[in-house]
Amino acid sequence: MELGVSGTLFLAVVLSLVLYFFTWKRNLKMKNMPPGPPPLPLLGTLLHMNTKELHTSLMKLSETYGPVFTIYMSKVPAVVLVGQDCIKEALIDNGDVFSMRGHLELSNLFTKGCGVIFTNGERWKQMRRFSITTLRNFGMGKRGIEERIQEEARYLTEEIGKIGGAPFDPTHRLNLAVANVICSVVFGERFDYEDVKLRELLTLIKKIMQLMTSIWGLLLNVFPKIFTYVPGPHQKIFSYVEKLKKFILESLESHKVTIDPNCPRDFIDCFLIKMEEEKSNPKSEFHSDNLFGTVMDLFVAGSDTTSTTLRYGLLYLLKYPDVQSKIQEEIDNVIGQNRCPSVEDRVQMPYTDAVIHDILRFADITPMGIPHATGQDITFRGYHIPKDTLVFPMLTSILKDPKSFKNPEQFDPTNFLNDDCSFRKNEAFVPFSLGKRSCIGEGLARMELFLFLTTILQRFNLKPVVDPEKIEISPQPNTSGTIPRTYQMYVTPR
């Protein structure tokens, strides 16, 4: 019985797919990659993971496959690292290999491979070194970073005071305050809380982050050549980013006209001065594309993460009023009511310091860290991991490790206190990651958290609108543990 032309073609296609599948599976086994759930062509291991709670899915998979395992995003392998010993062995002991930044298509679409967060090699080294040094030694003009944060904390408490005793959601005001600090440090100006431009910027960042962490953003990153053209909500990312770019580019042009090389006002001025110093160096990394990319990195990352942590912090204090009272007692004893809090006060306030540390630990807003990559082939814990393999260090596995914290699944400041109530350091405190790729904004974020929280609690008592026992402090569902639930609160003057 003859199949005919169409039947023959169909059989050929089926046989080709079967041959492709088994050849593909054999190649996977030959690589001696770490174990993991069985992948499928095109889909990879997507069916084994809940993309809306990805970190939880990966932690569950580690129970089956161990602390080092492989997942596939389509045909692209990614190695997942779980546990303090495993992650430390990779990022610290083998830091030269694992210090590359994982290649993300979205970053190329937005910053053309420039900036500091998603770059590698000499570009990354120079941008990171310059950014850290500039932020750390920020004595630009007449004001340093601390004074700018103190000023913004005063504006924030004044804004909260205007509300009176009415209940409110603190999200928007915290976003405005933190964004203003970044605007002051990077762009040299702060905005009034009613300023239309500032509100538009925050709305853009919020929408960009929501879309990038959605299933559409994941698909765009995994299949960029396809989903760049496929209709869907993710297409809005491009227009939002263009609007954000326009704001940044307008600020850059304004700085070029008004800069005084003898008196830099902000981060952009410092970068422009460095560009001028190296203009005769054809290999210099200090050029307009890197300036734009670095400013974009600092602005977007610095605006979102700290404000989210503050939202969690206030929520925890509403849930545990005894913690709030102890902080206020320390404020009264060390700072009093006649001056604004200073970073120097932190040393004399161990309980407050412990609270802030456990806010950062328990909030756990980057549970998977930012993707790393291998800079060369490596044999790691008996497995072969090829060069340029994506690596996800599960920071949540360290921050919620019962071996390091007595109450890992609860908010508990005593995790960072000795028996004599002095502050206790803990090597498992890694919310800013660890190794060569740790967060460049760690110092700024710590300063903001301390000054904002102490200034608010110096002025106000925070009150919940429901019984504290009914307050839910777990993250909003289906956000991969990154976004706090919405809540209402009110304040009374102290």
**In sequence order, what DSSP letters do the residues of 6-65 get, joined into one string?**
HHHHHHHHHHHHHHHHHHHHHHHHHTTPPP-SPPBTTTBTGGGS-GGGHHHHHHHHHHHH
DSSP bridge pairs for 73: 44, 76
Cα dist. 374→71, 386, 389, 488 in Å? 15, 7, 6, 44
Across the chain, which distance is largest between two alpha carbons, in Å? 98
Percentage of the chain modeled with pLDDT above 90:
60
Domain locations along the chain: 31-493
Predicted confidence band of residue 297 (pLDDT cuts 50, 70, 90): confident
Give pLDDT, residue 25. 53
Structure tokens at 488: 């209402």
What would the pLDDT profile of 236-287 be if each residue is shown by its tens digit? 888 888 888 888 888 889 999 999 988 888 899 999 999 999 989 989 999 9
Which candidate, 366, 486, 474, 361, places its Cα nearest to that of 425? 361
Would you state the pLDDT for residue 28? Answer: 52
Element (H, E) at 429: none
Q: How large is the average pLDDT for residues 418-440?
A: 94
Beta bridge pairs of residue 378: 385
Q: Which of 152, 458, 161 is nearest to 327 (CA)?
A: 458
DSSP conformation letters of 377-395: -EEETTEEE-TT-EEEEET
Give tens-digit pLDDT for 56-91.
999 999 999 999 999 998 888 999 999 999 999 999
Question: What CATH code would you report for 31-493?
Answer: 1.10.630.10
Q: In sequence order, what are the beta bridge partners of 17?
A: none
pLDDT of residue 205: 82
Count the neighbouring beta carbons within 10 Å of the beta carbon of residue 355.
27
Q: Cα–Cα–Cα angle for 302, 308, 311, nearest 5°? A: 135
H-run or E-run covering 425: none
- Token pair, residue 193, equals 């809380």
Q: How confident is the model at residue 29 (pLDDT cuts 50, 70, 90)?
A: low
Q: Which residues 6+ apart lie within 8 Å of 6 measured at CB?
A: none
Instruction: With a cut of 80, say whether residue 401 has pLDDT above it.
Output: yes
Distance separating alpha carbons of residues 280 and 275, to the nearest angstrom:
9
pLDDT above 60: residue 22: no
Name the pLDDT band for 1 (thresholds 50, 70, 90). very low
